[in-house]
C-alpha cells in the first residue's frame, strides 16, 4: 500500500477518533449538566417542602397562641399568614413543574391535605374562641387528634423528602457514572489518536520512510560519485519508496550502461591511437622487415589476447608465406596456396559476419577454424598478403573495422615498401646485368673507405673492361653485345659475391670493391675473373660469338691511393693494361715500380 494511502487512512482515522472524542466530551458535559440539574431540583424541592413545613408549623403556633392569649394582633398575624399561603393545587403544580414524579406528588398531596385539615381545625378553634368557647378551642388545638394530624403531616413531608433524596442520589450517581464513562471513552479516544499519531510517526516515517530514504540516500550519493558497483535496495512495495527504488535501479542500470559505453569509447580511442601510431611508424619503415616488426609490436595491443599471423604473397613459387606471428597461434606456419583462403579469393574479410555459420578457410587448423577471421592485405586492387586472427570471441575482439583498418595500413605499407624496393632497384641496380650501378658505387665506396679508415684494413678496387666490345656489336649487333655483357657480369658477380661488391661502371666496364683484400688478394680475384671470361663460350642465334677477353686494372688502399683516388688509380691501371695490348691484368703498384709481376700478362 502506498504511503500516501496509509497516511490518508491514518489521517481519516485520527479525524474520526478526534470527532468521537469530542462527542464523548460533549456527552460527558451533558451528563454533568444532568447532575447539576438533579442537585438544583433537590434544592428546589427542599425549599418548597421546607416552606410548606414552616408555614404549617407557623400557622399552628399562631393559632395556639391566639387561643391561649386571645390577642387581636396575633389573630391579625394569623390571618395575614393564612392569606399569604397558596392552595394545595398551586403548590402541587409548582412541584410538578420542578420535575417531581407522580408518586412524589401523591405523597406530597397527602401531606398538604393533612396540613389543610389542620388549618381548618385551627380556624374552628379561633371561631370557638371568638364565640367564648375557649376551653373547646384549647381542646381542639391541644388534643391528641390534632397532635396526631400534625405529626402525620410532618411524617408525610419527611417521607417525601426521603424519596426526593433517594431519587436525587440515584440521578446524581447515574449522571456521575455516565460522565465518568464518557470521560473515560474520550480519554481512550485521545489515547487512540495519540497511538495513531505514534504509529504514523514510528511506522510510516521511521520504518516506511526514514529507514528506506536513508538507504536510498546512501545509494544516490554513491551513484552521484559514479560508483555504479553499489547495489540498490530491492524495495518492491507499491508505494513512493518503491517508485524511488525503481527509479534508482533504472538510474544505476543506465549508469552501468553509460559506464560500459564510456569504457568501450575509451577502448575505441585507445585502439584508434594505436592505429594512428602504427600508421606513423609504418610511414617511417625502410624495409619489409621494419613493417613486420611494427606488425608484431602493435597487433597484440590492437587485438588483445588474439593470436595471429601475417602472410606475404610470393610469386615464385605462388604461395602465401608466413612472415610474422604473435601470441602463439595454433597450427604450423606452413606456406599454402592463395586459393586455400576465402578472404584472398573474395578480396574481403572472411567470414563476413561473426558468429554465423560459414565455410572455413582451408589453411586454418580445425580447432579454431570457426573462431577465426582472415583479412586480405589489398594494394591497388590486388592481394599482396593476409592477416589471420584466431580464437576471436565477441567479448575479446575489437571491432572488425579496426582489424580491417590495421590490414589496410599494413597492406599500404607493404605495397609502399615493394614500390620503394622496385624504385631502389631501378635506381641502384643495372637492369641488364643486375649489378649495382654507379649511383650505388658512390655510397658503397664512401662506406667502405670509412670502415677501412677506422679499422685499418685494406680495400682493393678492380676496374674491368671487355676487350674489342665495339667489334662484337658491329659484327653481331647490340643483342649479342648485351649477351656478352650479361655473361661477363655473371662471372664478375660470382667471383666477388662472397668477397665484396660488383658494379656496372659503364657500357662494357665493370668495377669490383674488395674490402679487406690487399694487392695480392685482389690480383688473385682478378686472375679468376680473367680466366673465367677467357673460357666463356657464347653463341648468338646460329653464330658463335667467339672468344671474349677482359682487361683489368687493380688499385689498393692504402698502398696506392686514398678515398676517391682509389677509382682513379684503378682506372689508370686499366688504361695501362689496354695500352699494353689488352687481355691482361695491371696493378697500380706495378706502374709505380716500373715493372710487372709474373703472370701479369695472360
CA-CA-CA-CA dihedral for 265, 269, 270, 275, to nearest 10 = 140
Catalytic residue among 53, 104, 508, 509: 508
Q: How many CB atoms lie within 10 A of CB 371?
A: 17
State how far the Cα of 508 lies from the Cα of 473, in Å rounded to an integer. 11
Q: Which residue has the cell 574479410?
A: 349
195-200 CB contacts, 8 Å cutoff, 24+ apart: 196/10, 196/13, 196/14, 196/17, 197/14, 199/10, 200/6, 200/7, 200/10, 200/14
Q: Quote the distance between the C-alpha of residue 208 and its chain's center.
A: 28
Q: Which three cell numbers stand for residue 534?
A: 677467357
Q: Which three cell numbers stand for residue 280?
A: 606513423
Q: Which three cell numbers stand for residue 201?
A: 510517526
Q: What is the DSSP letter of 99?
A: T
> Counting beta carbons within 10 angstroms of the beta carbon of residue 282, is it exposed (0 to 12), middle (13 to 18) or buried (19 or more)?
buried
First to last CA, the chain: 121
Q: Is 378 helix (H, G, I), strand (E, B) or coil?
A: strand
Q: Which three cell numbers stand for residue 132?
A: 367564648
Annotated catalytic, 508? yes
State how far the Cα of 114 lies from the Cα of 504, in Å rounded to an integer. 179
Beta bridge partner(s), residue 551: 465
Catalytic residues: 508
Amino acid at each position: 500500500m502506498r504511503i500516501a494511502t496509509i497516511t490518508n487512512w491514518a489521517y481519516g482515522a485520527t479525524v474520526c477518533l478526534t470527532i468521537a472524542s469530542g462527542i464523548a466530551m460533549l456527552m460527558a458535559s451533558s451528563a454533568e449538566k444532568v447532575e447539576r440539574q438533579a442537585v438544583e431540583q433537590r434544592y428546589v424541592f427542599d425549599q418548597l417542602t421546607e416552606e410548606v413545613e414552616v408555614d404549617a408549623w407557623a400557622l399552628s403556633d399562631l393559632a395556639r397562641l391566639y387561643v391561649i392569649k386571645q390577642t387581636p394582633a396575633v389573630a391579625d398575624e394569623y390571618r395575614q399568614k393564612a392569606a399569604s399561603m397558596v392552595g394545595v393545587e398551586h403548590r402541587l403544580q409548582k412541584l410538578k413543574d420542578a420535575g417531581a414524579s407522580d408518586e412524589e406528588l401523591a405523597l406530597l398531596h397527602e401531606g398538604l391535605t393533612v396540613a389543610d385539615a389542620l388549618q381548618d381545625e385551627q380556624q374552628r378553634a379561633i371561631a370557638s374562641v371568638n364565640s367564648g368557647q375557649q376551653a373547646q378551642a384549647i381542646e381542639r388545638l391541644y388534643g391528641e387528634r390534632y397532635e396526631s394530624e400534625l405529626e402525620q403531616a410532618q411524617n408525610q413531608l419527611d417521607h417525601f423528602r426521603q424519596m426526593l433524596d433517594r431519587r436525587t442520589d440515584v440521578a446524581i450517581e447515574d449522571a456521575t457514572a455516565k460522565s465518568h464513562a464518557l470521560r473515560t471513552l474520550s480519554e481512550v479516544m485521545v489515547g487512540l489518536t495519540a497511538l495513531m499519531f505514534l504509529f504514523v510517526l514510528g511506522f510510516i516515517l521511521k520504518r516506511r520512510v526514514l529507514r528506506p530514504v536513508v538507504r536510498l540516500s546512501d545509494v544516490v550519493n554513491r551513484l552521484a560519485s559514479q560508483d555504479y558497483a553499489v547495489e540498490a535496495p530491492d524495495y518492491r512495495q507499491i508505494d513512493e519508496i518503491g517508485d524511488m527504488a525503481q527509479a534508482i535501479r533504472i538510474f544505476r542500470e543506465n549508469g552501468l550502461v553509460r559506464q560500459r559505453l564510456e569504457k568501450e569509447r575509451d577502448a575505441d580511442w585507445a585502439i584508434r591511437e594505436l592505429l594512428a601510431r602504427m600508421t606513423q611508424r609504418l610511414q617511417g619503415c625502410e624495409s619489409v622487415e621494419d613493417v613486420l616488426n611494427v606488425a608484431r609490436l602493435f597487433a597484440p595491443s590492437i587485438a588483445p589476447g588474439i593470436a595471429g599471423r601475417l602472410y606475404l604473397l610470393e610469386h615464385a613459387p605462388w604461395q602465401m608465406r608466413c612472415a610474422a606471428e604473435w601470441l602463439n597461434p595454433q597450427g604450423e606456419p606452413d606456406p599454402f596456396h592463395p586459393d586455400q583462403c576465402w578472404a584472398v579469393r573474395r578480396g574481403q574479410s572472411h567470414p563476413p559476419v561473426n558468429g554465423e555459420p560459414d565455410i572455413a578457410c582451408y589453411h586454418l587448423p580445425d580447432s579454431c577454424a570457426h573462431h577465426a577471421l582472415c583479412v586480405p592485405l589489398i594494394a591497388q586492387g590486388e592481394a599482396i598478403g593476409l592477416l589471420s586472427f584466431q580464437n576471436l570471441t565477441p567479448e575479446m575482439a575489437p571491432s572488425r573495422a579496426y582489424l580491417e583498418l590495421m590490414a589496410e595500413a599494413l597492406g599500404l605499407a607493404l605495397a609502399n615498401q615493394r614500390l620503394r624496393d622496385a624504385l631502389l632497384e631501378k635506381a641502384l641496380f643495372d637492369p641488364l646485368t643486375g649489378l649495382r650501378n654507379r649511383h650505388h658505387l658512390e655510397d658503397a665506396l664512401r662506406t667502405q673507405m670509412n670502415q677501412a679508415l677506422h679499422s685499418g684494413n685494406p680495400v682493393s678496387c678492380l676496374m674491368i673492361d671487355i676487350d674489342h666490345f665495339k667489334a662484337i656489336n658491329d659484327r653481331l649487333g647490340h643483342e649479342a653485345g648485351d649477351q656478352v655483357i650479361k655473361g661477363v657480369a655473371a662471372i664478375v658477380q660470382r667471383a666477388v659475391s662472397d668477397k665484396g661488391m660488383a658494379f656496372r661502371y659503364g657500357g662494357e666496364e665493370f668495377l669490383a670493391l674488395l674490402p679487406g683484400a690487399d694487392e695480392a688478394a685482389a690480383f688473385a680475384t682478378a686472375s679468376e675473373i680473367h680466366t673465367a671470361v677467357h673460357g666463356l663460350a657464347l653463341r648468338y642465334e646460329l653464330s658463335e660469338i667467339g672468344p671474349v677477353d677482359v682487361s683489368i686494372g687493380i688499385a689498393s688502399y692504402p698502398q696506392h691511393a686514398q678515398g676517391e683516388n682509389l677509382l682513379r688509380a684503378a682506372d689508370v691501371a686499366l688504361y695501362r693494361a689496354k695500352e699494353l695490348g689488352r687481355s691482361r691484368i695491371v696493378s697500380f703498384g706495378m706502374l709505380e715500380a716500373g715493372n710487372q709481376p709474373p703472370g701479369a700478362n695472360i
